[in-house]
């Protein structure tokens, strides 16, 4: 079967859809471009489906590459039979391939290979036939003191070692044991002796057991971390060996003679010593992969929600990075996020300093025409918010608590050093807090997604898989929102379809030397930005000051002529068409259908003409914590408080109620019904009402409920 047929079958898609998608991917098209501008070719597949096609295509190619290597290896050994070759070519996954290769795979010296070296393979062959024979007499022929076979029992033991390895390498046997593990393997953990005190945080798992395949992702990762830290011993095994013995003996043992008993002993040894540990490792890795995928899925969804958080917009911001002893680093930013002023205030060192800090904030707001205040939500955040509330500003301002997650990573990064070479990390961190309020997406793309703090166990999961998944999310978010070509940072531009870091640098260099871009078409003047890159990126870039109104929209330049024809047919200019709903309603888009431009694209064009460059993000809403609750000690059971969702996991959601310690709303407390996925009920940065149901001051744990 072709790649497209296999993928279509596995993903339940049309073969033609998959073929065209693969063709576009291999021509260098990106996922956002294909999803947005090639709907006719793919049958309107969305980004998730296109990404699944891309990833499965990579896996199939890797499978074929491994298949070729295995065929070459067995061929070089002179052991590749037509039947074996047929089986290898028919294998549909890596497990099947590796099982077929296992008997031919070069291996270190084992008990079986040493027995073969001592000349015992013919004896193993005879025993496996399980004929009625005088076993001791047959084994005695293989006694050879020079080769280290001194007794009949040593000869039989060596033969059993050979048979045991054959059992463990038999593809059918391995599948039988796999099926047993899938049905009945238990995930269990025990505390390592004398590690009870050191491993207090893993106390819940000191004596744990559950069905392995039903274990949730977060628990699997917790147990595996406990083992990694030397606190727990974790196993993935059926509780009894007997079902495996019975299944394997049915396959390998026939008759009741002495030879059959030797095979039975070999089968049991092969399972206990070789096959069970091998399949346990396989299932351990399978559980890890399953847990990684789920944890990464949750992380990616959280990241998407964070990046698409509502922006305040281009406002003049005063941003504060709070601190008690070291003071509050304060910066003033213009509406484009450029640093205008910075200094440090010390509102918590004395009453006198507090008054001076209030006076300074009032003066800065007046001097720099500040429109909003951003306050970091870390140490001293709530206290700083109270200081700001005591200020008397001439105009009403909003003061917003902003997540500091990742701000320190940004402030010490090469990106921050390039932006602010003459300022220290504290100033850079405060600037980042302010810019996050203006436009979370533009600022957060400068930070490694793993450092933003919206996942769990991010250091435990497969880092390559995590990086690729988060990269996909950032690319998707950036392109769904669109990017202003003349103000975007290098980092933001680098995520635009078809651009990447090198071209982003070229675009910024061109902008710095030649001035602002006057149109999308001017992009073609940028060094190394060829026709393919222009095709991929142009629709996602905006030039708001362009003379061509379509440059401000998501209409792709390849469709400008079509829109111009629509306008001409309506007796208007493009600008008039975009401004008049009445004119647009008169257009029958079916008249403009062509071979490569069908109704899906035409419908997208009409939406853009209606609201050009519409930001898909929600409107910004101001949030305030309960002013009477600032410390965990202020919490009492039964309190109902406003909160903001800071993290979502498979087992619930974490909510900030303003006490420097997020509380957990367990999945069972999210709604008055059963909730399978917390994302059904809450989203990141959602404003919620929660009830305090338990406060554990010793462990700094807060349990909350949304079932109010």
Contacts of residues 58-65 at CB distance under 8 Å and 24 or more positions apart, as own/partner, are 60/3, 60/6, 60/7, 61/3, 63/93, 63/94, 63/97
Q: Give 144's DSSP letter.
A: B
The Cβ-side half-sphere exposure at 302, using a 13 Å CA radius, reads 26
pLDDT above 70 (res 239) = yes
pLDDT above 70 (res 127) = yes
pLDDT over 70, % of the chain: 99
Q: In which element (H, E) is residue 345 found?
A: strand 339-345
Q: Give 708's DSSP letter.
A: -
Q: Cα separation of 92 and 357, whole Å?
A: 69
Q: Which residue has 């073929």 as its token pair?
A: 19
Mean pLDDT of 363-370: 96
pLDDT above 90 (res 454) = no
**3-state DSSP assignment of residue 541:** strand
The closest of 155, 135, 133, 131 to 143, measured between CA atoms, is: 155
Q: Which residue has 């996925």 as its token pair?
A: 677
pLDDT above 90 (res 676) = no
**3-state DSSP assignment of residue 7:** helix
DSSP 387-451: HHHT---SS--EEEEE--TTHHHHHTSHHHHHH-TTS-HHHHHHHHHHHHHH-HHHHHTTS-GGG
Tokens matching residue 296: 């990464």
Largest CA-CA distance found in the chain, in angstroms, rounded: 108
Mean pLDDT of 256-271: 94
**3-state DSSP assignment of residue 232:** strand
Q: Report the chain's C-alpha Rg in angstroms.
A: 33
Residues 601-621: pLDDT tens digits? 999 999 999 999 888 988 888
What ranges in 77-195 are assigned the alpha helix state H? 82-90, 94-101, 111-117, 121-129, 135-140, 152-169, 171-184
Q: Cα separation of 83 and 92, whole Å?
A: 16
On whether the CB atoms of residues 140 and 152 are closer than 8 A, the answer is: yes
- What is the model's pTM? 0.86
First-to-last C-alpha distance (Å) of the chain: 56
Mean pLDDT of 367-394: 94
- Domains along the chain? 3-104 (1.10.10.650), 113-302 (1.10.3500.10), 317-438 (3.30.420.140), 509-610 (1.10.150.310), 632-705 (2.40.50.140)
Residues 271-297: pLDDT tens digits? 999 999 999 999 999 999 999 999 999
């Amino acid at each position: 079967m072709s790649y497209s047929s296999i993928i279509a079958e596995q993903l339940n898609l049309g073969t033609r859809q998959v073929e065209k998608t693969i063709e576009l991917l291999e021509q260098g098209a990106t996922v956002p471009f294909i999803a947005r501008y090639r709907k006719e070719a793919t049958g309107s597949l969305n980004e998730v489906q296109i990404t699944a096609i891309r990833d499965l295509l990579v896996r199939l190619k890797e499978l074929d590459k491994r298949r070729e290597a295995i065929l070459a290896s067995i061929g070089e050994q002179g052991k590749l039979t037509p039947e074996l070759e047929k089986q290898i070519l028919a294998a549909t996954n890596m497990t099947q391939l590796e099982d077929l290769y296992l008997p031919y795979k070069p291996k270190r010296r084992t008990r079986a290979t040493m027995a073969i070296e001592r000349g015992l393979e013919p004896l193993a062959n005879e025993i496996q036939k399980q004929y009625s024979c005088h076993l001791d007499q047959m084994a005695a022929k293989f006694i050879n003191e020079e080769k280290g076979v001194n007794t009949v029992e040593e000869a039989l033991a060596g033969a059993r070692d050979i048979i045991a390895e054959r059992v463990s390498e038999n593809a059918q046997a391995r599948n039988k044991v796999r099926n047993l593990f899938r049905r009945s393997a238990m995930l269990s953990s025990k505390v390592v002796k004398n590690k009870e005190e050191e491993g207090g945080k893993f106390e819940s798992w000191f004596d744990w057991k559950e069905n392995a395949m039903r274990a949730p992702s977060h628990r699997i990762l917790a147990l595996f971390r406990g083992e990694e830290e030397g606190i727990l011993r974790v196993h993935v095994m059926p509780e009894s060996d007997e079902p495996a013995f019975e299944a394997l003996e049915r396959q390998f043992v026939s008759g009741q003679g002495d030879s059959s008993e030797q095979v039975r002993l070999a089968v049991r040894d092969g399972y206990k010593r070789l096959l069970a540990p091998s399949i346990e490792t396989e299932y351990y890795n399978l559980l890890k992969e399953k847990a990684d995928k789920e944890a990464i899925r949750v992380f990616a969804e959280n990241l998407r929600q964070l990046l698409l958080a509502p922006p305040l917009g281009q406002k003049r911001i005063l941003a504060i990075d709070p601190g008690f002893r070291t003071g509050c680093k304060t910066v003033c930013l213009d509406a484009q996020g450029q640093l205008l002023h910075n200094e440090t205030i010390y509102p918590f060192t004395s009453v006198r300093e507090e008054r001076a800090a209030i006076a300074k904030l009032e003066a800065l707001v007046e001097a720099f025409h500040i429109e909003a205040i951003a306050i970091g939500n870390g140490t001293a955040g709530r206290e700083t918010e109270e200081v700001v509330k005591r200020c008397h500003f001439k105009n009403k301002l909003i003061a917003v608590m902003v997540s500091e997650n990742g701000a320190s990573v940004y402030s010490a990064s090469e990106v921050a050093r390039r932006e602010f070479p003459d300022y220290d990390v504290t100033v850079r961190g405060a600037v980042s807090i302010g810019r996050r309020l203006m436009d979370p997406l533009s600022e957060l793309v400068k930070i490694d997604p793993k450092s933003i703090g919206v996942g769990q166990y991010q250091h435990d999961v497969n880092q390559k898989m995590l990086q690729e998944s988060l990269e996909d999310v950032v690319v998707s978010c950036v392109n769904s929102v669109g990017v202003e070509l003349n103000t975007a940072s290098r980092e933001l531009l680098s995520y635009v379809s078809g651009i990447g870091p090198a071209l982003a640098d070229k675009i910024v260099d061109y902008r710095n030397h030649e001035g602002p871009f006057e149109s999308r078409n001017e992009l073609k003047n940028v060094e190394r930005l060829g026709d393919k890159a222009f095709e991929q990126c142009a629709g996602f870039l905006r030039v708001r000051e362009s003379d061509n109104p379509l440059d401000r929209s998501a209409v792709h330049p390849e469709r400008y002529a079509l829109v111009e024809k629509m306008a001409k047919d309506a007796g208007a200019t493009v600008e008039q068409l975009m401004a008049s709903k009445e004119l647009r309603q008169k257009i029958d888009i079916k008249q403009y259908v062509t071979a490569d431009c069908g109704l899906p694209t035409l419908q997208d064009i009409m939406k853009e003409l209606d609201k050009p460059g519409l930001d898909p993000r929600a409107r910004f809403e101001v949030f305030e914590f309960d002013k009477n609750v600032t410390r965990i000690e202020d919490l009492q059971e039964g309190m109902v408080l406003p909160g903001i969702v800071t993290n979502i996991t498979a087992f619930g959601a974490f909510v900030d109620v303003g006490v420097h310690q997020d509380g957990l709303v367990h999945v069972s407390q999210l709604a008055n019904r059963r909730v399978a996925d917390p994302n059904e009920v809450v989203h990141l940065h959602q404003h919620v009402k929660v009830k305090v149901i338990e406060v554990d001051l010793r462990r700094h744990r807060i349990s909350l409920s949304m079932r109010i």
